[in-house]
Amino acid sequence: MSTQKRILIMNRGEIAARIAKACRELGHVAVGVWTDNEVQAKHLEVCDEWVHLKGSTNQETYLNIPKILEMCKEYKIDGVHPGYGFLSENTEFSQTLVQNGITWIGPHPEAVRVMGDKAVSKEFAKKNGIPVVPGSTGAVPTIEEAIKIAREIKYPILLKAVAGGGGRGMRVCHNEQDVRNNFEAVQRESAAAFKCGDLLVEKYIVNPHHIEVQILADKKGNVFHFFERECSIQRRHQKIVEEAPSPFIGDDEELRQRVCTTAVRLAKAINYDSAGTVELVMGENKEFYFLEMNTRIQVEHPITEEITGIDLIVCMIQSAFGDDLKIPNQEWIKRTGHAIECRICAEDPITMLPAPGTVTGCETNFPQGIRFDNCLYKGLQVTPDFDPMVGKLVAKGIIREVAIRKMRAALDGLLIEGLKTNVPLHKVIMNEETFVKGLYSTAYIGTIRPQDKVELEMDFTSIYKKIAGVEARRMGL
């Protein structure tokens, strides 16, 4: 057990609050940050200390390595937790901290580097005998080269930015003309968003499943997996609903075992030493391929915590300081029940596009056992500067059916006033036959036609009725 540490939480929103809670449990000092634009950040309420990260743009604040380093020195910080997004997968940031004797709460910088580039990581995986999606391993410099590879692997193919993330920098091409039309555009977009225009050409797996494996490792060479999650409900290649275990893998324990041990094999090959996730794409025939490794905690980590009972962020902090994880062996890690997460985003439930706004009220009336990791408060302004996710609703049940039932009730009991959210879309999904049967792939979202089902008007009326009910209760009426 290490002594008390001062931990800087270099993030905002729900994940900052989540990390602060883990610090508190461990007896460490949680140091939170606020910027000129977010003086009233709710995560600070669960931090022990808060410091002003001067500036208003992300470049001036959350992405400003020299300024963060200065802050670490001034406030005698022992370790930095980066959360997800921002600098969480930035090699330079992790290296800078390590070189300055500050603990980086993440894997060693070389793992961040290798896994941070989709071309480099794919090559690394292939070398280590991990199946990778057919296509180029290195970056493809020209349209002609891309077309040549596409002819070999056959269409449809995907043009994918090697530095991409959050589902951005990807386009499906069905023929040569598509490649000609899209190649330079993806290069340009990727150069603008990720400062690197390099592209991969990959076979586009049709109706695939996004399956990922949670990894946790310590600094002594122990690497464990915490089973899989299925994240195939996506819009714009980004997840909105996740569940564990995967309904597609179902009772196929042999397949589950192969998937999980493949992930452990990759993590061991890079001497992984923190929490991380190996993402795989699985075809209709259950063949699976390595997609990427996220060398950080992921948005959807709560569902794994719910089915295994392990606090992944606590373990991640313990691992970073060289503490023992007290996990005797892989077999010791068990799972029970089923967990589902709905990402609650400030977005239009029909177009699924971000809908900035200001929260004027929030009420929750949940069934037993609901977890709601969020950063909501009255007055919260959702701006285009940050990801529109404002909370994560997590339901656990002894079986999948119960988890879905609880999630439906939780969605009904979640009232966010003043903001357009995707709650009505989640309600559609949780009641839709294909989802309920667990038969969906990543093509799912394109098939449900929310415009036919989202009863927006009714939703708002019922919200007002419910808010009136809550207020009446409060006043003892």
**Does residue 246 belong to the site contacting ligand ADP (CB under 6 A)?**
no
Give the three-state DSSP class for 242: strand
> Which lies closer to ligand ADP via its Cβ, residue 26 or residue 382?
382
Give the tokens for residue 27.
């007896």
* Interacting residue with ligand ADP among 15, 403, 407, 428 (CB under 6 A): 15
> Which lies closer to ligand ADP via its Cβ, residue 167 or residue 221?
167
**Does residue 345 belong to the site contacting ligand ADP (CB under 6 A)?**
no
Q: Give residues with Cβ within 8 angstroms of 32, minimum separation 6.
A: 9, 16, 20, 41, 43, 44, 46, 47, 49, 50, 51
Say if residues 369 and 396 touch (Cβ distance below 8 Å). Answer: yes
Q: Which residues of 425-444 are buried (b: 16+ CB within 10 A; e: fewer)?
A: bbbbbbebeebeeeebbbeb
* Interacting residue with ligand ADP among 117, 198, 230, 292 (CB under 6 A): 292
Near ligand ADP in 74-113, by CB under 6 A:
83-86
Closest to 248 in 3D by CA, of 266, 233, 234: 233
Q: How far is the CB of 4 from ligand ADP (least distance, A)?
A: 26
**Does residue 38 belong to the site contacting ligand ADP (CB under 6 A)?**
no
**Does residue 164 belong to the site contacting ligand ADP (CB under 6 A)?**
yes
> Which lies closer to ligand ADP via its Cβ, residue 158 or residue 423?
158
Q: Where are the beta strands (DSSP E) in 147-208?
A: 157-161, 170-173, 199-203
Distances (CA, A) of 164 to 171, 266, 345, 369: 12, 21, 21, 36
> Which lies closer to ligand ADP via its Cβ, residue 224 or residue 440?
440
- Comparing every residue's Cβ against ligand ADP, the nearest one is 85
Q: How far is the CB of 201 from ligand ADP (least distance, A)?
A: 10
Residues involved in catalysis:
296
> Which lies closer to Mg ion via its Cβ, residue 279 or residue 311?
279
Q: What are phi and psi of 92, to 5 degrees?
A: -60, -40
- Using CA atoms, how far apart are residues 22 and 13, in angstroms rounded to an integer? 15
- CB under 5 to 8 A by kind: which of Mg ion, ligand ADP, none does 85 bind? ligand ADP
Which residue blocks in 236-298 are alpha helix, DSSP H? 253-269
Verify cis geometry, omega within 30 degrees of 0, for the bond prior to 245.
yes
Distance of CA 408 to the CA centre of its chain: 22
* Interacting residue with ligand ADP among 17, 264, 281, 445 (CB under 6 A): 281
**# residues contacting ligand ADP (CB under 6 A):** 37
Binding range to ligand ADP, per CB under 6 A, among 95-103, 158-166, 256-264, 317-325: 158-166
Near Mg ion in 268-307, by CB under 5 A:
279
Q: Which residues bind ligand ADP (CB under 6 A)?
A: 11-13, 15, 83-86, 133, 158, 164-167, 170, 202-205, 208, 210, 234, 237-239, 279, 281, 291-292, 294, 298-300, 386-387, 389, 442
